[in-house]
Structure 1
Amino acid sequence: MADCNSDTLTAADALIDLALAEDLQQLGDLTSQATVPADRDASVDVVARESGRLSGVVLMERVYAALCRREGRDEGVVRVAVHVEDGSLLEPGTIVATVTGPIQLLLTGERIALNFLIHLSGIASKTAEFVKRSEGSGAVILDTRKTLPGYRLLHKYAVRCGGGVNHRMGLFDGMLIKDNHLAARGNSSVADAVIAAREFLAAKSLDLPVEVEVDTLEQLRDALAAKPEIVLLDNMKPSQLQAAVALRNDLAPETRLEASGGVNLETISCIAGTGVDRVSIGAITHSAPALDLGYDWPWKK
């Protein structure tokens, strides 16, 4: 199971409160109030409709706890029994969790709980596909900063649920010199930019790795003179990636190489097999389709 740390849960709580405010505003769930007796209880199973990787079930109890607080009810009036942990493989028909309590509350929270579950499970499932297709290469699958505002910690949690590895969380916790930084410097030397970055970090007493993006083998040769911790190889063909690995092995074997750009499920095996250490993929967060999960109500069985 991937670690869902306190920062991630805090970010989730803010999004849950926002979701409840969007759905309920001041009047609440009018349809459920009008059509379902307030004293009627039920149990409903949360079921996978398709194969994939689970992420987000850890949030279900928090959704209903927040809903109960908003409605002035005891948080314990809705109970969530989790049967399958985040990070687990799912098959159609897998019962992920069972939710028990007043039907009005169960109905009110249904869409919000499922929105988190299908979105995060979609990211975990897409990540798992990339991980599977890169097996045996030694390359790890990384995410990027291409995430929705407010969702970054949850998206990166979902990536971990799928077997991927997190890149930097933001601009504050990593040094990545990109092509625009190099162009803005007006200096063609990649090595000089790496040296400048190291000097800045030393002055700030920050112990962070320096990563730099290159587009050509000539830039890579220049960068390796400064021995950055990581070089990002942007949009290189597999033959170029293989040449880059050979050049790295010769000049700075301690530097890790990261491939990015043009990576999809058809190309990942070839890219990962070139000998690079890492492959970063924005699509696992910004383009992952939702995984189909739903509530199986007892009266529909």
Structure 2
Amino acid sequence: MPDYCLTPSELEQIDRLIETAIDEDLQNQNDLTTHSLVPESAQGTIQIVGREPGTLAGAAIAERIFSRYGQQNIKFHPLLKDGDALIPGTVIAEVSGSMQSILTLERTVLNFLTLLSGTATLTRRFVDAVKQTQCQILETRKTLPGLRAAQKFAVRCGGGTNHRIGLYDAVLIKDNHLAWLKTRSDDYLAEAVREARSHVASGVIVEIEVDTIEQLRSVLPSDPDIVLMDNMTNEQLKEGVQLRDELNQRVLLEASGGVTLTTVGAIAETSVDRISVGALTHSAPAIDIGFDWSGIVSSSLDGSSN
């Protein structure tokens, strides 16, 4: 199993996201319930446990939350790493130290783990469904606001491949861009690729969306890096692959639109290079993960902890 690491850019974004999540809960104040009931000196150990089958994502983020926002004596001992399989009852990590810190951070940690493991789990199911082919599974920009870096990391943990990060790092010429260009030129598809190439740095990916074989035939000579074949039948996808092989083998073909676990295998068998699936990030159900207390060192309530 490869090691799935957060990039420096992702870490920067996720640190801001963690700060937002903590602020939602605390607003620079105390956890009223925990500080009312649990003395500052109380120590304990919890196990973070997976309660249903899936793929883990977010363990590194959980460790980061405890290290940045827990008291200094918090110890995080991972037993699984991101990308590992979850079996019901699997212990993901053990956390020891201040009960106040553990209880205060519990929901923030679980929110990340359950959401991201859900994305990784759904991604793994799609990846497994096409494993007999060379096809890659990618997410889209249909991410939850603010969570893109974390969700794209989770897709990698599930064995998927990341699409562009945002609007700034690659060109994707979609139908509404083309609707504008269509009013200016009969050769609007090829012109769109040429215009994009003339405005971006060398090496920036230029992708364009088509929804007919005729459009694909028209755009291949302009040499885009990727052509997105949107909402086409499997027969059209096969025809598109044959046409690409005849006219411009350098171009990658990507299928998208209404892709499900039921249909993705047959789509991959058309020999397209990539399949993008919006559901990976906008519709993945959360995975059930919880905190189980494994040991508590009692401390008397003396009022000083409030």
TM-score of the pair, normalised by structure 1:
0.93
Q: 1:26 to 1:254 in 2, by over 3 A?
A: closer
Runs of 4+ in 1 over 6 A off after TM superposition: none
RMSD after superposition: 1.4
Moved more, 149-158 or 126-135: 149-158
**What are the within-5 Å matches in structure 2 for residues 203-218 of structure 1?**
205-218=201-214
The answer as to 2:43 corresponding to 1:45 is: no
User: Is structure 2 residue 65 aligned with structure 1 residue 63?
Assistant: yes
| Secondary structure at 2:6 match in 1 | coil
Residue 224 of structure 1 corresponds to which residue in structure 2? 220
Residue 26 of structure 1 and its aligned partner are, at CA, apart by 4.0
Q: Which residue of 2 aligns with 1:147?
A: 143
Instruction: Tell me the residue number matched to 1:192.
Output: 191
Q: Which amino acid aligns with 1:67?
A: Y
> 1:108-127 alignment to 2 at 5 Å?
108-127=104-123
Shift of 1:207: 2.1
Aligned residues: 291
Distance in structure 1 (CA, Å) of the matches to 2:22 and 2:52: 27
2:251 to 246, 249, 255: 255
1:171-192 C-alpha deviation (Å, 9 max, x unpaired): 1110111111111112342112
Partners in 1 of 2:56 and 2:215 — Cα distance?
41
Q: What stretches of structure 1 of length at least 5 have no aligned partner? A: none
Letter of the 1:265 partner, please give it. Answer: L
Per the alignment, in what secondary structure is the counterpart of residue 298 of structure 1? Answer: strand
Equivalents in 2 of 1:26, 1:207: separation in Å? Answer: 45
Amino acid at match of 1:224: L
Within a 5 Å distance, the mapping from 1:153-164 to structure 2 comes to: 153-164=149-160
Aligned counterpart, 1:246: 242
Measured in 1, the distance between the counterparts of 2:206 and 2:34 equals 55
Name the SS of the counterpart of 1:46 in structure 2.
strand
Deviations 1:253-293 (A, max 9, x none): 11110000010111100111111000011110111110111
The residue type equivalent to 2:210 in the other structure is V
- Deviation, structure 1 residue 39: 1.1
* Cα offset, 1:122, TM superposition: 0.6
CA contact (8 A) 1:159 1:166 kept: yes
Q: What is aligned with 1:21? A: 23
Shift of residue 149, structure 1, vs aligned partner: 2.1
* 1:233 match: secondary structure: strand
Secondary structure, aligned partner of 2:222: coil
SS in 2 for 1:77: coil
| Aligned residue number for residue 33 of structure 1 | 35
Aligned mate of 2:294, from 290, 295, 298: 298
* Structure 1 residue 298: Cα displacement: 2.6
Secondary structure of the corresponding residue to residue 95 of structure 2: strand
Percentage identity across paired residues of the two chains: 47
Choose from 273, 277, 291 the match for 1:281. Answer: 277
Structure 2 residue 97 is matched with structure 1 residue 98: no
Q: After superposition, give the CA deviation of every residue in 1:104-156 in whole Å (9 maximum; x if it has no partner).
A: 11111100000001111111111000000011111100111111222111111
Secondary structure, in 3 states, of the residue corresponding to 2:34?
Answer: helix
The amino acid that maps onto 2:82 is D
If asked which structure has higher relative contact order (CA below 8 Å, sep 6+), I would say: 2
| Residue 170 (structure 2) pairs with residue 174 (structure 1) | yes
Correspondent of 1:271 among 255, 259, 267: 267
Which residue matches 1:82? 78
CA distance in 2, matches of 1:79, 1:124: 26
Gapped runs of 5+ residues in structure 2? 297-306
Structure 1 position 227, deviation (Å)? 2.1
Distance in 2, Cα, partners of 1:61 & 1:139 = 33
In 2, the alpha carbon distance for the partners of 1:250 and 1:268 equals 25
Answer yes or no: is the 8 Å Cα contact 1:235–1:262 preserved in 2. yes
